[in-house]
């Protein structure tokens, strides 16, 4: 291979360009591969200038220590093999920021410096347009961009083949490795060479993880020798516990413990306080970061019985006889506790109840549970408002009959009732005898300025079911309850810790109904064995949400998702709706683990 610099290099695709610029641009776009054309569209929507030359730089953000440790020897060896050739090895982190660069010749270094492809440069697609590193990060797959396929004019003499580097356990993309050269020296063999090097980096990441696990085990053994209580050591992928901790926590609790521990240790190395485990077990916990020479290996949790003078009515450091599966609101989040308290108060008051929440949160299921708690007997009648549009007369006849029949009458989706029919329903509901029938209604929203407002006012007791994404801490408990229910009389399979962690990372726009559907499919695939990630439907085997987000970050993430949804995925419009800069929105998308592949712009 040879490298010669031309004063005005012109890619082969544009050598015979027409004189008219519009015709030239049209001809150029017609030759683009489909994936490149899509990237060009995204680049245009992101406001990237074709003639721009500046490249943003940043030295902030997460320190890519583990990635660099794993990649350093690999890229040094690869650079040695490329010595004397017009090639460069470029390593970027999860933000598409260059963290390492090695060149085969010094003139290549000077050339890349002029193109501003150097350590600290941000090569994300939204900042500099179509390029191999930015597109590989955007698409989460190997990506090739050759010469004139680059969106920016000043990169038209550049060719690159980039391969994502993934975490060996979670599959999350931790960075991108690319081979870069002038377009006239491009070679298809660069891609398999980059793939081989990326695989070696992933192997070294795996070895680094094993080292961390050995450090974690050493700390666990030290703690168990001096502690008379329950001891647990864990990281994102591993949980080690002693005999006393066995009855309290199991592998299935690992995702929840990790989520709690990373929150309380977000700004400190040690935390002491109460920890609520499954089935309302409350313990005093001392939580510390396991760190050796600035390397964080995991977290140590030491648990002791809660003192009797502050114990309260709940069980302390012991597993109760029941497993809690009979309660309609399993889980240990603050939202679940609030809902259980409100449910008990509503059941005792026996007033007309409005249950609100997003589709799939379990409103009708909770209405049936209220009927069972009532103990007054009778049957549950469910009246669909959709039937009212087809035959209003018959629907009102069924409403009158339901209000006169002992038991429980459930009016589903009253917010979908047409305005003229909602006012007629008010007169019937207002005259209902609360002692003769228990009246329950469901709606997507508890309050809204529409024709059904007067009808909702007939239901003074209110229950609001939170969306599943707002109570991710409850997913392990909820999933186990659903699996027991789906297994029926057969033994319920165990959900592997990695599976639970993956489920906690999903979006769950369909809420509990969607989770039940996914678990039903997984149980069919597992055929009675423990449910692993491979048994989940393919689209659920990679979690798009980063773990360890605080409650505030989750609320922020939901606000960003809602804005993107309202704007049809257009990032520029979403940024304007949120009142933030577009660059700030991009940082939020990356830091909050939002999958950019589902967004249009």
Tens of pLDDT, residue by residue over 425-456, are: 887 887 776 667 888 888 887 565 555 677 88
CATH superfamily of 551-598: Homeodomain-like (1.10.10.60)
Listed in order, the ranges of the chain carrying CATH 3.30.450.40 are: 12-198
From 114-123, 227-236, 304-313, 502-511, the region with the lowest mean pLDDT: 304-313
Collapse the DSSP code of 601 into the 3-class scheme (helix H, G, I; strand E, B; otherwise coil) and give the result: coil
Tens of pLDDT, residue by residue over 238-280, are: 788 888 887 788 666 777 788 788 888 877 888 898 887 766 6
Listed in order, the ranges of the chain carrying CATH 1.10.8.60 are: 471-540
Listed in order, the ranges of the chain carrying CATH 3.30.450.20 are: 227-310
Contact call for residues 500 and 476 (beta carbons, < 8 A): yes
What class has domain 227-310? alpha beta
pTM above 0.95, yes or no: no
Tens of pLDDT, residue by residue over 228-245, are: 889 998 887 678 888 888
What class has domain 12-198? alpha beta
> What value, to the nearest 5°, has the Cα angle with vertex 173 and ends 168 and 178?
105
Listed in order, the ranges of the chain carrying CATH 3.40.50.300 are: 334-468
What class has domain 471-540? mainly alpha
Residues facing 176 on adjacent strands: 92, 164
Q: Which residues contact 103 (CB under 8 A, 6 or more apart)?
A: 79, 87, 88, 89, 109, 112
| Alpha-carbon span 341 to 345, nearest angstrom | 6
Nearest to 364 by CA among 427, 333, 410: 410
73 CB neighbour count, 10 Å cutoff = 12
Tens of pLDDT, residue by residue over 61-119, are: 444 577 888 899 999 999 999 899 999 999 999 889 999 999 999 999 999 999 999 99
Architecture of domain 334-468: 3-Layer(aba) Sandwich (3.40)
| Alpha-carbon span 57 to 35, nearest angstrom | 27
């Amino acid at each position: 291979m040879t490298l010669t610099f031309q004063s005005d290099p012109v890619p082969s695709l544009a050598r015979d360009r027409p004189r008219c610029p519009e015709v030239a641009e049209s001809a150029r776009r017609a030759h683009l591969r489909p994936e490149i054309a899509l990237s060009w569209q995204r680049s245009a929507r992101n406001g990237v200038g074709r003639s721009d030359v500046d490249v943003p730089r940043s030295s902030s953000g997460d320190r890519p220590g583990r990635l660099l440790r794993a990649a350093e020897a690999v890229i040094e060896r690869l650079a040695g093999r490329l010595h004397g050739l017009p090639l460069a090895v470029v390593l970027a982190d999860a933000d598409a920021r260059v963290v390492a660069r090695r060149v085969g010749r010094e003139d290549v270094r000077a050339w890349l410096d002029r193109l501003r492809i150097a350590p600290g440069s941000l090569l994300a697609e939204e900042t500099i347009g179509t390029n191999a590193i930015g597109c590989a990060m955007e698409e989460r797959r190997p990506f090739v961009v050759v010469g004139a396929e680059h969106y920016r004019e000043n990169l038209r003499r550049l060719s690159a083949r980039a391969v994502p580097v993934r975490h060996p356990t979670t599959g999350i993309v931790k960075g991108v490795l690319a081979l870069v050269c002038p377009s006239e020296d491009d070679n298809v063999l660069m891609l398999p060479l980059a793939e081989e090097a990326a695989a070696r980096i992933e192997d070294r990441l795996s070895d680094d993880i094993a080292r961390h696990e050995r450090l974690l085990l050493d700390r666990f053994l030290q703690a168990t020798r001096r502690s008379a209580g329950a001891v647990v050591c864990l990281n994102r992928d591993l949980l080690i516990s002693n005999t006393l901790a066995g009855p309290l926590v199991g592998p299935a609790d690992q995702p929840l413990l990790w989520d709690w521990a990373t929150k309380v240790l977000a700004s400190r190395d040690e935390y002491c306080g109460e920890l609520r485990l499954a089935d309302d077990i409350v313990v005093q916990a001392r939580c510390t970061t396991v760190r050796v020479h600035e390397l964080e290996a995991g977290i140590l949790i030491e648990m002791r019985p809660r003192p009797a003078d502050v114990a309260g009515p709940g069980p302390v450091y012991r597993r109760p006889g029941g497993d809690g599966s009979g309660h309609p609101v399993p889980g240990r989040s603050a939202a679940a506790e609030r809902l259980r308290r409100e449910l008990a108060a509503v059941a005792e008051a026996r007033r007309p109840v409005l249950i609100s929440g997003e589709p799939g949160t379990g409103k009708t299921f909770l209405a049936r549970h209220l009927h069972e708690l009532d103990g007054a007997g009778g049957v549950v009648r469910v009246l669909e408002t959709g039937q009212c549009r087809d035959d209003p007369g018959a629907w009102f006849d069924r409403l009158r009959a339901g209000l006169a029949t002992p038991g429980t009458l459930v009016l589903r989706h009253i917010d979908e009732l047409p305005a003229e029919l909602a006012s007629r329903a008010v007169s019937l509901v207002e005259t209902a005898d609360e002692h003769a029938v228990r009246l329950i209604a469901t709606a997507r929203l508890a309050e809204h300025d529409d024709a059904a407002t007067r009808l909702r006012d007939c239901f003074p007791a209110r229950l609001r079911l939170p969306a599943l994404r707002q109570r991710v801490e409850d997913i392990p408990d909820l999933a186990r309850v659903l699996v027991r229910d789906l297994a029926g009389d057969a033994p319920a399979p165990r959900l592997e810790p990695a599976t639970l962690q993956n489920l906690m990372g999903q979006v769950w726009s369909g809420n509990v109904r969607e989770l039940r559907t996914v678990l039903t499919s997984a149980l069919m695939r597992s055929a009675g064995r423990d449910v692993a990630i491979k048994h989940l439907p393919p689209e659920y085997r990679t979690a798009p949400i980063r773990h360890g987000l605080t409650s505030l970050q989750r609320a922020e993430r939901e606000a960003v998702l809602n804005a993107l949804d309202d704007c049809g995925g257009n990032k520029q419009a979403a940024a304007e709706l949120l009142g933030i800069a577009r660059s700030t929105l991009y940082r939020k998308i990356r830091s909050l683990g939002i999958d950019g592949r589902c967004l249009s712009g």
